[in-house]
Structure 1
Amino acid sequence: MMSYYKIRIIICFFMPKNLLQLLFLLATAIPISAQKKTSFDQICEKTTVVTSHKNLPAAFKTADSLYITAQTSQEKIKSLILSSELYQYSGNFKKAIGYSESAHSLISQIDNTEQMIYICRLLARQYRQVGLYERSKKYIVKGLESSKLITDSQKSNEMAGLLNQEMAFYEMELGNYSNAIQDIEASLEFFEKAKISNKSKTIAVSYQALGDIYFKLNDYLVSENYYRKAEALLKKGSCTLGLIYNGLGGIRLKQKNWKEAEMYLKKAEKIADTSRSLKLRKAVYSNINDYYEDIGDTFKASLYAVKYVRAYDSITVRNQEFFTKNPENTINKTVKNGGLNIVKNVAIIILFVSIIGLIIFFRTKEKKQRSKLRSIIRTRQQLAYGSKERLEQSSHEIEFSNISVEEIEEKDSDADKKRNESLMTSETESKLLELLEDFEKGNLYNSKSMSLSFLSGELNTNTKYLSYVINQHKSADFKSYINRLRINYIVDKIINDEKYRQYKISILADECGFSSHSKFAAVFKAVTDFSPSAYIKHLDSENQADKDVRFREND
């Protein structure tokens, strides 16, 4: 039998490029070619139930490859619905609704009532969750009309029950609790006609919704009764169970039963913390905040207030893009139009002036930076070409003296400085200055073990004397003095040895004794106003400009 690799070589040799790209896409996802063993529907189901929870990026790839390889409109619709549900699961409602609308458009072109009902319910839920309630209701009504066309009475009743359940959630969002109760009761009647098991999670959702409604109506006895019914039908860890525990905790808060309130809210929090549902988190954190406020623990109350605000803000951010794009969600739009036009015009003028100001600011700053760079280059080149003058107070060294970066070792207090001054003879001070001159001519300051005590040992003196001399005669403390020498050293290397411009920044940092790339970059920028890479780039451009000038003069 021909090996896999031989077959792959033959395919790569004869196949066109576009087909090869398609095959590569399929290879990165779950193998669609294995359709002999597993159907399109089974792959969709596996991706929804298993892959999406273990590896969401892989699930997105699978959904995309399913759409590419879909042979029929039905398969394309299923893959679009899969993508929509995955994006909803990830919290990206914009893309989720986009895929749902694409599926709805495709379903409208074929005759598939059951798929139409499913996508209408999906869109109704998604639009409700982003606050577009009228669009949500539109799809609920369309779904209910379609449910009447199903000839299978069991399926028809089940679909009608789910859509009435969704209508109840819509009414609850608007505060129409009496209508919501009627819709939930209708949903339960349809589920009974459809012979849905009393152990069903679907029925538990209806009971939980009734618990929420009666809680809002302050009928805590009836509310708890429905919560208990819902709890009995659910397994541990579901989002609905989290809402039930939060509701029971809320009831206990109203009854001032702090012990049981804490117990239920802890159960709700455990589910909320592992759930992707922002609605659940927001509700749970709000109740826990109320609990700690009621028992007088203001510190913990503030912690949960922060968690609540974060969940609330996340919902607001998620919904904002839909509100800003849809006229049905704006209030008094016609009244505001005139004012908006004026605001827009003023904003455009302000923006234009700001842009001009920013351009002038950055050009001025760039000129100053280039002037400073040229000054540093000229000074360092003069030193490299043999100038023996000590420019202790030259412009660039004044700039180096203001470094406040890497901590190398201890500082002395003002009292110590004065005391050392009175104890140290002028001969000792002069000798130390000579030793420091010799020290500056070498490269010992680049040692990573450099410290005040280390250098004192090298110069055969004590740390107090050395610290005093550096402070008095070098206009810097010890750490700034060493960093100044290190930066002078590496600037010399970059200017006068082109190979240093090819090195990585981490190598330059190591060369002059800095313990990390980031500390070196911070020092370098504080001194030159450039990052090391930008400094090298500007230096190269300056050198090229000089070459161009000499070239034209020679002409």
Structure 2
Amino acid sequence: MLKQISFFFLVLFTCFVSFAQTIKKYRESDLKDFKNKFYQNREIGVDSSLYYMNRLIESNDIAYKTFGYAATEYLKVREKQAINIPFKDSINKYLPKIAKTNKNYTLLFDIHILLGNTNKRRKLIKPALQNYITAENYALLAKDINRTIKIKGNIALIYQDMEELDKALNKAKETLELIETNKETLSNKYYSSKYKRMFNVAAIYASLYKNDKDKHQYADSSLHYYNSLLETKEFNLNSYYTGKVYYGMGTVYTLKEAYSKASSYLEKSLVLFTKSKSQSYLYKSYYNNGLNYYNLNKLEKAKQNFLAALSIKKDTILDDNYIKMHGYLSQIYTYQNKVDSANYYLNTYIRNHSKVSSRDREQFKEAIKIDFDQKIKDLKEDSTKKSFYYEIIVISLITIVLFISFLVFKNAKEKKRTKKKLNDLLEKISKKEDLTEKSFSLSNPLKIKDEQHQQIINGLLKIEEKKYFLKEEFNLYNAAKKIGTNTTYLSKIIKDYKKMSFNDYTNELRINYIIGVLSNDKKVRSYTTQAIGEIAGYKNAKSFTRIFKKHIGITPYQFIEKINKEL
């Protein structure tokens, strides 16, 4: 009995010691020092910052502990490291326990902006926006001007990512006004804060102009802000930030098709980006500069810029510009009568293009009626013959011309089809016709093969009637389970009777439904693209916009504008 009691107290003592080692009490000054180590992660290294964040996690202060979890999650996501501890659960556990007091408003701001940055890196745009808006509220409660300006800028960038440029512009201008109002309070941070927001406004105006070339005032406004940045000596811009302004001005003039002026600014940006060793901006500047010179028919300069860009970024098909440069170079070398180089870049262009879309590759080959691979092989074998040079030039030119003609014809045909589809849709809306009619309409009886097929189709009709397709969990597996069949059979039925895949069937139902809602409910038309997409069953605005445009031919925003004009 005595041994059992002794063992019990030994276990109890061990647990107490272990707990005491896990939960540590630090002084407030220590906690602040640990927290500051996060913001020094670029200087001291990520591992060192993570060490100090772990000490915050071990503390018994709920607010600093939560910051430690949020900061660790952000660093690991940024560095693409595995997250072994369920940080999200821990954050959700401790965050509500933080007292909403003046003392904690700043920490709550820092936590929510970290959560927003983490969600943004994970491409979770809506949760990121929600965290930023919460952070903005805490910044206002704390009456912290610096943090309020910072978070408003983040919100403006989120709206840009969501392609809600009007909201982004309003938020950025609102931030500029706040900076001006608090010039004395901001002191030495006034000009750095003003630069960032003015640059943001200039970039938004450039994006608005890119979307609507008829509104020249957008381009003028963008250039006005960029010029103001250069003319304000107090900004004291370094090479990198001055280069960004010149690059921005160059892109605006490219959009205006003022190619000579665009190149003059891009040349300046290249000098400054070389000095500041900014590889990403060097790549973009070389590409845009090459494009300007190409449009000016200054082919040698265009070639030099394209080759310089390719020397920075190696072999990636994720960047359209990387692929396009090979096409431009093949044409330039053809004009310069340099057959080997023209052949090399043309082959690279075709090879990379085929990786992106094998179907386009086959359509391309069918359009030109040539076994292109064999032709290139034959040309290489005959490279020692004099006729080789003439033949490769002719083949290259024919290939390029036919390929461009094919793309133009395909684009024109697609535009014509889209315009007719949109006109028919708007006509239905104006006549108040039902836009949400069932996909398996009973008014036009289908030729059903057997009772089992009929049972599945009836099940699909019930799903459509109850609008189960709007739920996030709606997928092939759940639909099959609800109907009482298997996924293979359900897919086959939809393919046989609807001539489409299950995903296309789902998207057709959702897009038809949301079109009906938009045409009948003016209030919904005022919602954000994200909110409208969620009504239709989509998780994020980008997916919804892409699918909507694929089905209707224009974006949801453009469709709403057309409806508002029609009704």
TM-score, normalised by the number of residues in structure 1: 0.47
Say which one has the larger Rg: 1
TM-score, normalised by the number of residues in structure 2: 0.46
